[in-house]
Structure 1
Amino acid sequence: MAEAESRRPAAPGEDVKPFTPEKTKEIVMSLQQPAVFCNMVGDWPALHWNAKYLSAVLDGKTIQFRLGLKTMGLVPQFETRCSYVKATLEEFLAWSCGQPSCLSGPFSCYEFSKYWAYADYKYIARIFEDKPEFFQDVRWSDFGFPGRSGKESTLWIGSEGANTPCHLDSYGCNLVLQVQGRKRWHLFPPGDTSFLYPTRIPYEESSVFSKVNITNPDLKRFPKFRNTTAHVVTLSPGQVLLVPRHWWHYVESIDPITISINSWIELDADHEARVEEAITRMLVCAIKSAENPSDGDPWLNPTEVEATSHEINLQYLNKAVLAYFKWQKANESEQPCSSSSDAEQRAIASCKRKKREVGCEPEGCRLLTHEFGFSTFKAENLQKIPFGPHLIQVLPQSQETSSIGAVAVDSGDLLHENEGGHFGKLHCTRKQLVMSNDCETPAHQMDSDGSPNASQTALSTNDLLDCLVNPHVINLVARLLLERTRV
């Protein structure tokens, strides 16, 4: 009964939106500041996807959860510092409620008062591969992307305290629907990149991490963090957050159970970004693979599975450069703001991160600058954006006002070539990393905040890499390489 009710047809007038799909897409593709859409998804069946409902639908299917400590050290809890278990949603819900049955289950080694659990980056296409009708519960066509549904989306299920380390995504922009509970988003503009001490260790394609634990910053070690401009917003069920290109974000669950659905929207600027990512991969893999394995540095994020060889990385670079010039040539032969057909877009699309196996389509013409970290949006363009009760701007903390309406703003929030010859990450089939459930693993992985000893002065490989693969440096190298290739 619940399943049938979830996908019932919208009643007359129920599907009236404050913005047309065309207008919404225009906002998504042009706005370079975070904003929250309200009253856009009231008729989406996916709003019924609370944890109990999904548990019944999945009926005992296991998914992988990442576990971290609720206590905050000075170093972010990167995925390399977490533990992993496979469990059902029923077991997760029992654990989060403190039920005795958890004493012998997959969460038995993790005391709920000390740990959080996060089932993140779960591809809806994979979770519901035997129930494809569920894809239509997610309707990104309302945002101007016809044909995009749950099949091109990702599911996130977390307990209170679950979080993702502060990072920026090299590719695209992001639309996030909050389904259950609330999440607090801490966002920083691209111009704050140098203040956030970017690093590529742990390495994950298309994710640039910050060394700073922004909820407990080590200002002695990272003094420039004081110069950042935080935009903090608490996203509630039924709201959709736009995370523009290259905006840093740290996300934390602040309710007992949170569920979100997101989809990444590709941009034309991603073509150059793929070249930058290919250069980064070559350098990181070459230098880190040369280290003594006994050093025990978990430099590769679990989602990357393995370090690729120099030969494969060079192929990846050449494919990225070739695709860039192919796109550039096609773009020059078209009208300035025209977009290619859906079929052509899918042919060149690649997804956001190693984890993101379900594709995103590049769309339209954007007001973007390619200079990494210096994205601008002129005041006259901002004035054209219809901010109001249905589209709420996420303001810097110093500019918070009571006009934010329904949005609660806190003052504190491989190359694996695809069939058909596509490069990148669209529809690629990833290996599944089998993580240990050893009860001693958490203590081994999370007993230290990883801060260097004050007397430590010797430079490490990671110190060198932080300079070599700094986003600004890689951007310059990519431009020089593309110029050389063009000649």
Structure 2
Amino acid sequence: MAATPGTTPETAPAAGAGEVEGEHVKPFTPEKAKEIIMSLQQPAVFCNMAFDWPARHWTVKHLSEVLHGKQIRFRMGMKRTDRVPQFETTCGYVEATLEEFLTWNCDQPTMYGPFRDYDHSKFWAYADYKYFVSLFDDKADIFQDVIWSDFGFPGRNGRESTLWIGSMGAHTPCHLDSYGCNLVFQVQGRKRWHLFPPEDTPFLYPTRIPYEESSVFSKINVVNPDLKRFPQFCKARRHMVTLNPGQVLFVPRHWWHYVESIDPVTVSINSWIELEEDHQARVEEAITRMLVCALKTAEDPHNTRAWLNPTEVEETSHEVNCRYLNRAVSALFDHYRTSKVVEIQALRTKREDMKKEGSDVHNHMEVGPTGGQDLLLGMGKQEAASPFGPDLVPVILGSEELPSERGGIFEGDGKDFVGEDGEHSGKLHCTKRQRMMSKSEDAIVEQISSNSSMAPSQTFISTDDLLDCLVNPQVTRIVAQLLIQGRSLWF
């Protein structure tokens, strides 16, 4: 039986603390798992958290029976390793069933059928980025087979998930996701993850071509880098981990990742968890979309597929992009207005409660000052304790092979991977903010309430508004510096 880190099997949480299957107890409650996810700044692997998920049996063989006869698009790539990334725009595509994929992947001769032009010894196939709601549109009950609520997100299941099925060598180019953080459940086979922290972005030579909303690609093939062309890449801090079936990888916001299948068949399920920062990121993405589409369409109006990722299927006209940008800005303002009102009301309630309980707290501290001090010290020690152990393994610099489920020994205390902000410092910040808000909160609430009725036309973002920002001298100066910096290696 797996125990919570720091406990023995005899002192492990009771059945109420986690889901139980036989003698197995999940090492983290949903609340604790969510706390870890929201505070960790490093990738980590959760073990023994999905042993009772029905989706753990979703092998390709099983899925071929569930999706019998359903056509799925596979991306076809070359197994050779070039110096340049193999972007989706350079791959071939076929429509095929999972039965046909299994036949081809077993290296059986295919003189006919969708894979007939792709020699299995030279090509890999990847059914990537398949949203459950589209894939299982007539089988909604299957959404319950994925239980992200175990990680503290009530009601989240397959409906908010994506399926990935690949052959050996199938991979995604190195990129970062603009939105959210990522949870990845490995079902069949193994995948090797190459991860780089957000701070290393300049060393990854980011590009938006090919363009895909929310995906920033690297110009580098990180498994065969061209250091003569991209010399700064040698400074990038590569974190590596091999994800085994049954394990769940947590990828924090804006961590770069290159993912490759290292077994004959792999199946993964992921879900992107929304974060507060996503609201502003959507505005930034809308601006990027408008600029890329406008410039690339003007450059070659008849060849959008040369720069537009095949996964980007929405219309790219200027009119559509203007609406997209305005919706993103309006959603951002709506969120800020709503969250500000809720925050002020919560602070007001907390302040009133503190006034009522102030004398009791003061008397309690006077009765046992030493005990109170010990309590605070104890809290500090608890917050500083590492969450890592046999059931939560950090992804570290270099290669780190993880044991299979319910096996292996964890080494190291993981102190370098503790989240930056502890609960205690958060409370201090809230108290300071409460003092600042107490004098003017009523006026702010009234102002926010009046602004909430603002007509959409008053916040409309025009093309000229965007250009005023883009051609601002401060912006053009930064752009010029980046252009010069990017070309300086040729001199």
TM-score under structure 2 length normalisation: 0.69
Pair 1:269-2:270 in alignment = no
2:50 — aligned with what?
41
Taking only aligned residues, the RMSD between alpha carbons, in angstroms, comes to 3.2
Output the amino acid matched with 2:220.
V
Aligned to 2:153, what secondary structure does the other structure show? coil
Classify 1:318/1:234 alpha carbon distance in 2 versus 1 (closer, same or farther; 3 Å).
same
TM-aligned CA deviation for residue 336 of structure 1:
8.4
8 Å contact kept, 1:36–1:392: yes
1:165 — aligned with what?
173
1:144 is matched with which residue: 152, 161, 164? 152
User: Hey, what's the Cα distance between the residues in 2 that align with 1:72 and 1:90?
Assistant: 28
Note the alpha carbon deviations across 1:273-297, whole angstroms, 9 max, x for none. Answer: 0010011011101111111347787
1:229 — aligned with what?
237
User: Hey, what's the Cα distance between the residues in 1 that align with 2:145 and 2:300?
Assistant: 49
User: Hey, what's the Cα distance between the residues in 2 that align with 1:469 and 1:286?
Assistant: 23
Aligned to 1:202, what secondary structure does the other structure show? strand
2:389 — aligned with what?
388
TM-aligned CA deviation for residue 39 of structure 1:
0.3
Question: Any residues of structure 2 matched to 1:77-96 within 5 Å, and which?
Answer: 77-96=86-105
1:211 — aligned with what?
219
User: Hey, what's the Cα distance between the residues in 2 that align with 1:53 and 1:226?
Assistant: 43
User: Hey, what's the Cα distance between the residues in 2 that align with 1:98 and 1:188?
Assistant: 35
1:365 — aligned with what?
none
8 Å contact kept, 1:188–1:230: yes
Which 5+ residue runs of structure 2 have no aligned equivalent?
Answer: 1-18, 347-379, 412-475, 483-491
8 Å contact kept, 1:184–1:254: yes
TM-aligned CA deviation for residue 401 of structure 1:
9.6
Output the amino acid matched with 2:336.
Q
Question: Any residues of structure 2 matched to 1:88-167 within 5 Å, and which?
Answer: 88-100=97-109, 102-167=110-175
TM-aligned CA deviation for residue 333 of structure 1:
2.0
Pair 1:179-2:187 in alignment = yes
Aligned to 1:133, what secondary structure does the other structure show? helix
Larger relative contact order (CA 8 Å, sep ≥ 6): 1
Classify 1:275/1:237 alpha carbon distance in 2 versus 1 (closer, same or farther; 3 Å).
same
User: Hey, what's the Cα distance between the residues in 2 that align with 1:127 and 1:401?
Assistant: 32
Note the alpha carbon deviations across 1:240-266, whole angstroms, 9 max, x for none. Answer: 000100000000000000000001100
1:397 — aligned with what?
398
Classify 1:295/1:24 alpha carbon distance in 2 versus 1 (closer, same or farther; 3 Å).
closer
2:63 is matched with which residue: 31, 54, 59? 54
Output the amino acid matched with 1:304.
E
Output the amino acid matched with 1:394.
V
Note the alpha carbon deviations across 1:84-112, whole angstroms, 9 max, x for none. Answer: 00111111011011112x22111010000
Aligned to 2:209, what secondary structure does the other structure show? coil
1:200 — aligned with what?
208
* Length, aligned pairs only: 367
8 Å contact kept, 1:235–1:408: no
Pair 1:333-2:341 in alignment = yes
Pair 1:30-2:39 in alignment = yes
TM-aligned CA deviation for residue 329 of structure 1:
1.8
TM-aligned CA deviation for residue 132 of structure 1:
1.6
User: Hey, what's the Cα distance between the residues in 1 that align with 2:263 and 2:155?
Assistant: 32
TM-aligned CA deviation for residue 13 of structure 1:
3.9
TM-aligned CA deviation for residue 311 of structure 1:
2.5
Output the amino acid matched with 1:315.
R
Give 1 or 2 for the bigger CA radius of gyration. 2
8 Å contact kept, 1:172–1:270: yes
User: Hey, what's the Cα distance between the residues in 2 that align with 1:288 and 1:112?
Assistant: 35
User: Hey, what's the Cα distance between the residues in 2 that align with 1:312 and 1:243?
Assistant: 32
4+ residue runs of structure 1 moved beyond 6 angstroms? 294-297, 379-382, 401-405
Classify 1:111/1:130 alpha carbon distance in 2 versus 1 (closer, same or farther; 3 Å).
same
Classify 1:294/1:154 alpha carbon distance in 2 versus 1 (closer, same or farther; 3 Å).
closer
Question: Any residues of structure 2 matched to 1:416-435 within 5 Å, and which?
Answer: none
8 Å contact kept, 1:161–1:252: yes
Note the alpha carbon deviations across 1:38-96, whole angstroms, 9 max, x for none. Answer: 00000111010001111112112111100000001111111100000011111101101
User: Hey, what's the Cα distance between the residues in 2 that align with 1:336 and 1:119?
Assistant: 47
Note the alpha carbon deviations across 1:400-448, whole angstroms, 9 max, x for none. Answer: 6999975999xxxxxxxxxxxxxxxxxxxxxxxxxxxxxxxxxxxxxxx
Output the amino acid matched with 1:393.
P
User: Hey, what's the Cα distance between the residues in 2 that align with 1:313 and 1:333?
Assistant: 31
TM-score under structure 1 length normalisation: 0.70
User: Hey, what's the Cα distance between the residues in 1 that align with 2:33 and 2:193?
Assistant: 22
2:81 — aligned with what?
72
User: Hey, what's the Cα distance between the residues in 2 that align with 1:469 and 1:258?
Assistant: 43
* More helix by percentage: 2
2:289 — aligned with what?
281
TM-aligned CA deviation for residue 125 of structure 1:
2.0
Question: Any residues of structure 2 matched to 1:280-359 within 5 Å, and which?
Answer: 280-293=288-301, 298-305=306-313, 308-335=316-343
User: Hey, what's the Cα distance between the residues in 2 that align with 1:93 and 1:76?
Assistant: 27
Classify 1:42/1:62 alpha carbon distance in 2 versus 1 (closer, same or farther; 3 Å).
same
8 Å contact kept, 2:162–2:270: yes
Note the alpha carbon deviations across 1:113-166, whole angstroms, 9 max, x for none. Answer: 000000001112222222222111111111111111111111100000000000
Aligned to 1:220, what secondary structure does the other structure show? coil
Pair 1:21-2:14 in alignment = no
Task: Give aligned-pair identity as a percent.
Answer: 66
8 Å contact kept, 1:233–1:408: no
User: Hey, what's the Cα distance between the residues in 2 that align with 1:313 and 1:22?
Assistant: 39
